[in-house]
Amino acid sequence: MEFILMAYVKETGWDSLTPEQQKQGMAAYTAYTKSLADSGVLKANRRLGFSAGASTLRAKDGKTQVLDGPYSDSKEQLGGFYIIDVKDRAEAMRWAEKCPAVGHGILEVRELPAQ
């Protein structure tokens, strides 16, 4: 079963960290990604660009509206994701609990249904 782990973090939080804290943060994500890869469950992962560079589209009255920036204003923004292939939701949750984002943001876990 495939699951997506979506990390919502406070984008401006990175700049408030000391260089040593940033180094530790990068090391934690690198180690987590390596453990997923080494176990054979990692299918894909990416860090996303800042939400200020996003565009949001929606149709209203038959016309497409394009908005600059993220759709909603919230404390955390979608910062990246992992797609994993595991035997069940329980295993996905065990991997999710280990993600560094849990310590400073929100991690959303969703099943990716077979197509």
Tens digits of per-residue pLDDT, 15-53?
889 999 999 999 999 999 999 999 999 999 999 998 888
Q: What mean pLDDT do residues 77-86 have? A: 95
Is pTM beyond 0.75? Reply is yes
CATH number of 2-112: 3.30.70.1060
Handedness of CA 72, 16, 14, 95 (dihedral sign): negative
Q: What is the CA radius of gyration of the chain?
A: 16
**Sheet harboring 105-112: ordered strands across?**
42-47, 77-85, 2-9, 105-112
Handedness of CA 66, 44, 84, 73 (dihedral sign): negative
Question: Looking at the predicted structure, is the pLDDT value of residue 107 above 70?
Answer: yes
| Structural domain boundaries in the chain | 2-112
Question: Looking at the predicted structure, is the pLDDT value of residue 109 above 90?
Answer: yes
pLDDT band for position 73 (cuts 50, 70, 90): low
pLDDT band for position 76 (cuts 50, 70, 90): confident
Question: For position 51, what pLDDT does the model report?
Answer: 84
